[in-house]
Amino acid sequence: MSRLRGLFNTTTFRLSLLYSVIFASSVSILFLFVYINSGTFAEDQMEAAITTEVQGFSETYKRDGILGLVAVINRRVDPNFRTDGVYILTEPGGRRIAGNLSTWPKNVEAQEEWINFSSLDMTRSISSPADVRALQLIITPGGYKLLVGRDISVLDSFREGLLRSLNIGLGITIALGILGGILFSRSIMSRVERITLTCREIMKGDLSQRISGAGKDDELSRLSSSVNEMLDQIERLMNGLREVSDNVAHDLRTPLNRLRTKLELISNKTKQPNDKKYLDEAITHADDLLATFSSLLRIARAEASLKNNFKEINLSEIVNSAIELYLPLSEEEKISLTINISENQKSWGDPHLVAQAIANLIDNAIKYTPEEGRITVELYSKPDGIYFFISDTGPGIPEILHEKVLERLYRIDDSRTSSGSGLGLSLVNAVVKSHKCKLNLQNLDPGLKVTIFFPKD
């Protein structure tokens, strides 16, 4: 039902429906023209037949006199002679001489040629009034009055039948138009849906995705081809950027380690307190740089998403191990740690990457939670998958920055004075994407709640 409702909301369907309405309106005007002209044509044909018959009666009167005319009319109204004609011939005084009308119609103006009347006063047996269209004239010499007409109920039946047929045709036209609009919209919608699904996968970070069906020569195919070419270019640029940062991180680790070792040797040998202080600060900065480069390499590994390292993992054991690792630090910082871990919660993934992501979240929570603060860690399952929650009572992250903090090396201004590289949440995000999981940040009052959802499939 929702799919059908979504179809009705599409621009394609609305355009198809508008076209159907315009087409149906055009057909309606055409049918109305056919109906009016067909009725008028049938009426003209009837009047032409009556006129021809009256002219024939006039010729008979001129040739055979009144007796010949009476004989012809009597033959026309003979029950064995099937006719829808209406006739009456009267003397100048009004007495009927021949015909199937017993009396001359009432309320008929003498000066009118064509008249319409309804009458049961006919010599033939009928069960309802006859609607008659007739031509009257005075036959000279003699002053006889002649009326010749037709029962127009046949014409009315023709009009009703024609109107019924046109209405059925119009209904079929509208139905076919709507059906065609639905089928056309479904065809377009299926292609648009494929493009939308591909774009969503790309938005999640999978730049290898491409829009299928780009080889056809139509508007959507040309659009798909352009988008695919754009994605090829973006993927090349992004891969180049990642390779540069990863190579820099990898290549600089060795000289930095050597530099740190030499600084440590000099620090151990120096006797001057001030020199030793500066050397120790330099060693600390070198350690920070090495930690940053290590985080960059771990992110690169997570984004590579090597499936051969994936296996069944016990999330309960991974979370408990991370908590055991950071429990002494939380106690040292006088932070209350509440734990609610369901046992034997299993999923699929790289155990080292998942453990690193969980550890980073716990480390961040301890780092930004003040003394006497509280951290809550939960892990439990629902029918759709497994949920990991960690919340703290720290300063939190403004909602407008929730997307930014997942980028590499981004740090909020308030946290720049504390240690760190700005890669913790970026690593978590990379691990989540590589495992097809979902990451959500939610502000608390105070604090921040981070959720990782591990789907069942």
What Å distances lie between residue 443 and 240, 357, 394, CA to CA?
Answer: 35, 20, 10
Query: Looking up tokens 């009052």, which residue turns up?
Result: 445
Cα angle: 114, vertex 102, 92; to 5 degrees: 65
- Distance between the two ends of the chain, CA-based, in angstroms? 26
Domains belonging to the chain, first-starting first, are 13-156 (3.30.450), 235-304 (1.10.287), 307-455 (3.30.565.10)
Q: Which pLDDT score, from 0 to 100, does residue 255 have?
A: 79
Give dist(CA 426, CA 406) in Å, integer. Answer: 5
Sign of CA dihedral 355, 360, 365, 366: positive
Q: Are 163 and 39 in contact (CB under 8 A)?
A: no
Q: Which pLDDT score, from 0 to 100, does residue 306 have?
A: 54
Global pTM?
0.48
What lies within 8 Å, CB to CB, of 313 at 6+ separation is 346, 347, 348, 349, 350, 351, 354
What pLDDT digit, counting tens, does each position of 343-360 carry?
Answer: 999 998 888 889 888 998
Best-predicted range by mean pLDDT among 86-90, 229-233, 250-254? Answer: 86-90
DSSP letter, residue 370: P
How is residue 171 written in tokens? 């209904």
More confident residue, 395 or 210: 395
CA dihedral of 324, 325, 329, 335, whole degrees rounded to 10: -40
Give dist(CA 421, CA 260) in Å, integer. Answer: 18
Q: Confidence class of residue 416 from pLDDT cuts 50, 70 and 90?
A: very low
What average pLDDT does range 285-296 have in this prediction?
69
Q: Confidence class of residue 457 from pLDDT cuts 50, 70 and 90?
A: low
10 Å CB burial of residue 185 (0-12, 13-18, 19+) is: buried
Best-predicted range by mean pLDDT among 36-50, 73-87, 169-183, 268-282? Answer: 36-50
What Å distances lie between residue 229 and 145, 204, 223, 391, 422, CA to CA?
Answer: 93, 19, 10, 42, 33
What average pLDDT does range 273-298 have in this prediction?
73
Query: Looking up tokens 């981004």, which residue turns up?
Result: 410
Q: How far is CA 30 from the centre of its chain?
A: 34
Q: Which residues of 201-225 are buried (b: 16+ CB within 10 A; e: fewer)?
A: ebeebebebbbeebeeeeebeeebb
Helix axes 315-332, 351-368, angle to 10 degrees: 30
Half-sphere exposure of 31 (CA within 13 A, CB side): 18
Q: Confidence class of residue 305 from pLDDT cuts 50, 70 and 90?
A: low
What average pLDDT does range 165-182 have in this prediction?
80
What pLDDT digit, counting tens, does each position of 433-442 carry?
Answer: 888 899 999 9
Cα angle: 208, vertex 352, 447; to 5 degrees: 90
Q: Which pLDDT score, from 0 to 100, does residue 345 have?
A: 92
Q: Which residues of 28-42 are buried (b: 16+ CB within 10 A; e: fewer)?
A: eeebeeebeeebeeb
How is residue 193 written in tokens? 């849906």
What pLDDT digit, counting tens, does each position of 16-50 carry?
Answer: 777 777 877 888 888 888 878 887 888 888 888 88
